[in-house]
C-alpha cells in the first residue's frame, strides 16, 4: 500500500494552520505536506511536527504574491532575481523542517507572452534551482496543473513537464504527478505512471469532479493504488483534496486502502 501524507493546506482547513498537525496525527497520518510554510515561524512548525511524531515530505518554493494572483514565478521573465532569493529561502526552511523535496510552481503565462521566452526563463530558473538544491541535498520537483482550476497556468501537461525536465538535464529535477490535475488535462493515468515512474518523485490525489476525497468521483483509486504497489513506487502520496464535509468523515477511502 502506498504511504499517504495529509496535505495541511486543504485537510482540516476549518482549523488554524498550526493546529492541523495534531489533527493529522490523530487521524492516523504519519506524514504531512503543505503549500507554503513561510508565514509561520519555522521553529514553531518544527515543534508541531516533532510534537506529533510527523515528518514533512514536501512543501513549495515561494510563489510570488499569492494574494495578488501569482501562482508561481519560475516562468516569468524579469523576476529571476526574486526567484533566486526564493530558492535560498526555501532551502533554509526545508533544511530546518526536514523536508527532502520541494515543488516549484511555474506560474501563469502573461497574456501575449512568447512561449519561447517563457520556456527559456523556466528552464534557466529550474537549472539554477536544481543545482542549488542538489548542493543542499534536496530534490526539486515541477507539477503540471490543470487550466480549468488555474487558467493560463504555463505548465499543464505531463509531456510538457517531461520535455522541460529533459531540457534542464540536471539529474535533480523530477515530476510531481498530481492525479487530479492529470485526469482533467489528459487522462491515461495508469499508463503515464507506469511509463514515467523513475522520474516521478511525488504523487498527489483528489477525485474528479469536485476535487474531493477518493471515492467521490470518477477516478478508480483502488485500481491506481494497486498499480502503484505493483510498479514499486516508493514515494509518498499527498492527499491534496477538499473534504466534502470534514476530513475525518471522508477518510473511509484510507481505511479501505489500508485493509487491502
pLDDT at 260: 72
CA distance 153 to 146: 7
- Asked if 212 and 250 touch (Cβ cutoff 8 Å), the reply is yes
Determine if the pTM surpasses 0.95. Answer: yes
Cell of 192: 503515464
Best CATH choice for the domain 3-259 from the list 3.90.550.10, 3.20.20.150, 3.40.50.300, 3.40.930.10: 3.20.20.150
pLDDT at 166: 98
pLDDT at 229: 96
Q: How far from chain centre, in Å, is Cα 128? A: 20
Q: Is 143 considered catalytic here?
A: yes
CA distance 165 to 146: 18
Q: Spell out the SS3 assignment of the chain.
A: CCEEEEECCCCCCCCCHHHHHHHHHHCCCCEEECCCCCCCCHHHHHHHHHHCCCEEEEEECCCCCHHHCCCECCCCCCCHHHHHHHHHHHHHHHHHHCCCEEEECECECCCCCCHHHHHHHHHHHHHHHHHHHHHHCCEEEECCCCCCCCCCECCCCHHHHHHHHHHHCCCCEEEEEEHHHHHHHCCCHHHHHHHHHHHEEEEEECCCCCCCCCCCCCCCHHHHHHHHHHHCCCCEEEECCCCCCCCHHHCHHHHHHHHC
pLDDT at 18: 98
Sites in the chain below the pLDDT cut of 50: none
Q: Is 218 considered catalytic here?
A: no
pLDDT at 96: 98
Write out pLDDT tens, residues 163-192. 999 999 999 999 999 999 999 999 999 999
pLDDT at 44: 98
Candidates 143, 167, 213, 218; catalytic one: 143
pLDDT at 101: 98
Candidates 132, 213, 240, 248; catalytic one: 240
Amino acid at each position: 500500500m502506498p504511504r499517504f501524507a495529509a496535505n495541511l493546506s486543504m485537510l482540516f482547513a476549518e482549523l488554524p494552520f498550526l493546529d492541523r498537525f495534531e489533527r493529522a496525527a490523530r487521524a492516523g497520518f504519519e506524514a504531512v505536506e503543505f503549500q507554503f510554510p513561510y508565514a509561520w515561524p519555522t521553529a514553531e512548525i518544527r515543534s508541531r511536527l516533532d510534537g506529533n511524531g510527523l515528518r514533512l515530505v514536501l512543501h513549495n518554493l515561494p510563489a510570488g504574491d499569492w494574494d495578488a494572483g501569482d501562482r508561481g514565478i519560475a516562468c516569468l521573465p524579469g523576476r529571476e532575481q526574486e526567484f533566486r532569493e526564493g530558492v535560498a529561502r526555501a532551502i533554509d526552511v526545508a533544511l530546518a523542517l526536514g523536508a527532502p523535496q520541494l515543488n516549484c510552481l511555474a506560474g501563469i503565462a502573461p497574456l501575449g507572452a512568447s512561449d519561447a521566452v517563457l520556456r527559456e526563463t523556466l528552464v534557466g530558473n529550474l537549472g539554477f534551482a536544481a543545482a542549488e538544491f542538489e548542493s543542499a541535498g534536496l530534490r526539486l520537483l515541477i507539477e503540471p496543473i490543470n487550466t480549468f482550476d488555474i487558467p493560463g497556468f504555463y505548465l499543464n501537461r505531463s509531456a510538457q513537464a517531461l520535455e522541460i525536465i529533459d531540457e534542464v538535464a540536471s539529474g535533480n529535477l523530477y515530476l510531481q504527478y498530481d492525479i487530479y490535475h492529470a485526469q482533467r488535462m489528459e487522462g491515461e493515468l495508469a499508463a503515464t505512471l507506469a511509463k514515467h515512474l523513475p522520474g516521478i518523485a511525488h504523487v498527489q490525489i483528489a477525485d474528479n469532479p469536485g476535487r474531493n476525497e477518493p471515492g467521490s468521483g470518477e477516478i478508480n483509486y483502488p485500481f491506481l493504488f494497486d498499480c502503484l504497489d505493483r510498479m514499486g513506487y516508493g514515494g509518498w502520496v499527498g492527499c491534496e483534496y477538499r473534504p466534502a464535509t470534514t476530513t475525518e468523515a471522508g477518510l473511509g477511502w484510507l481505511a479501505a486502502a489500508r485493509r487491502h
